[in-house]
Amino acid sequence: MNAPSAMNDQEMNGQPIVEFFQLVANPHPPRRADRSAGGSVPVRALRYCEAMTTASAFGWYVFIPLTFKVVWDGSSILWTYQGIDEWLPLTRETAQFPNFKQKFDELAPASVRGFAPPFLTASFQPGGLQIWTGCLVRTAPGWSLLVRGAANFPKSLSYQTFEGIIETDKWFGPLFDNIRILKTDVPVEFRSDIPFLQVQPVRKEVYADKFLQNYAVRDMSELGAADWDAFHRTVVAPNTVPDRKPGRYAVSVRKAAHAAGLRKVDAGAAS
């Protein structure tokens, strides 16, 4: 089954491509990613750069359940959060979300009590920290999730977010990500009102080695007449037309998507 027919089957059956289970209460639940990247995309790019806005809107934002800070001294990590006035060590290299462990054990079946996912976990790698979003996640059969930082948001200079692909149709567990703190002895803030992650659906066959080995690298002598004609339409013609209007690519892509019924643009996101 190819990817388009698989997606259509999912839509016909009414089964979500992805399901988020919010274990920790969060005023900012997961939501569809935004074409403007929360207002970070310049207005001109929002209007004319379809490549950037499409990438920004691809997937869903996931937020952490509270604002907190960490500081790394090169050896150990301390953390603090809203409502307390002290820095707490990551005891035994982990920290639970405040008051969550008791709630988890009260609501969970007996077989999983005592296994509340930790909120923060210090890595054995220098400056490494694993942060849980408070969610569990599951995808429909054949779908995985690419987990990464939010696309086209300004990146922090104080930490690096790692990326990973998780086969969440089989692996049902906490949605977390690993970061690496880059600065020592400087408090690094993680805000609950800014997307921490952007998760994107990927068909398994798309990242299979057999699929990714199917590529070619050619030199200019191998460009044929059809290739040069396509280059002319894309590059030369738009730049030789008097009073050229910007955004031709964006217009053509949006028209094609509308004709195919592939995208429903929210009026607020498109404005």
Q: How many domains does the chain have?
A: 2
Answer whether residue 257 is part of any domain. Answer: yes
Average pLDDT over residues 66-75: 96
Residue pair 6/31 in contact by the 8 Å Cβ criterion: no
Residue pair 129/150 in contact by the 8 Å Cβ criterion: no
Same domain assignment for residues 110 and 222: no
Average pLDDT over residues 207-227: 96
Same domain assignment for residues 231 and 123: no
Answer whether residue 241 is part of any domain. Answer: yes
Same domain assignment for residues 144 and 10: yes
- The pLDDT of residue 14 is 76
In the structure, what pLDDT confidence band is assigned to residue 93 with cuts at 50, 70 and 90?
confident
Average pLDDT over residues 239-265: 62
Q: CATH code at 160? A: 2.70.40.10
Same domain assignment for residues 227 and 207: no
Answer whether residue 269 is part of any domain. Answer: no
Taking the C-alpha atoms of residue 183 and residue 89, their distance in angstroms, rounded to an integer, is 18
- The pLDDT of residue 118 is 96
Residue pair 191/134 in contact by the 8 Å Cβ criterion: no
Answer whether residue 245 is part of any domain. Answer: yes
Taking the C-alpha atoms of residue 78 and residue 90, their distance in angstroms, rounded to an integer, is 6
Give the CA distances from residue 41 to residues 107, 143, 168, in Å, rounded to whole numbers and listed in that order: 42, 29, 30
Answer whether residue 173 is part of any domain. Answer: yes
Q: Is residue 60 left, alpha or beta, with left meaning phi > 0 and alpha meaning psi from -120 to 50?
A: beta
Answer whether residue 271 is part of any domain. Answer: no
Answer whether residue 18 is part of any domain. Answer: yes
Listed in order, strand segments (DSSP E) in the chain are 18-22, 31-32, 60-62, 68-72, 77-81, 88-89, 94-95, 120-122, 128-139, 143-148, 159-161, 164-166, 173-181, 188-190, 197-203
Average pLDDT over residues 198-214: 97
Same domain assignment for residues 179 and 229: no
Answer whether residue 268 is part of any domain. Answer: no
Same domain assignment for residues 115 and 199: yes
| Half-sphere exposure (Cβ direction) of 141: Cα atoms closer than 13 Å | 6
Is 256 buried (19+), middle (13-18) or exposed (0-12) by CB count in 10 A? Answer: exposed
89-112 burial by CB neighbour count: b if 16+ within 10 A, else e?
Answer: ebeebebbbeebbeebeeeeeeee
Q: Does residue 159 or residue 255 have the better pLDDT?
A: 159
Q: Supply the range of the domain harboring residue 253.
A: 217-263
Residues across the chain = 271
Same domain assignment for residues 12 and 56: yes
Same domain assignment for residues 222 and 206: no
pTM for the structure as a whole: 0.84
The residue among 78, 81, 79, 77 whose CA lies nearest residue 67 is: 81
- The pLDDT of residue 255 is 60
Q: Does residue 242 or residue 197 have the better pLDDT?
A: 197
Same domain assignment for residues 162 and 228: no
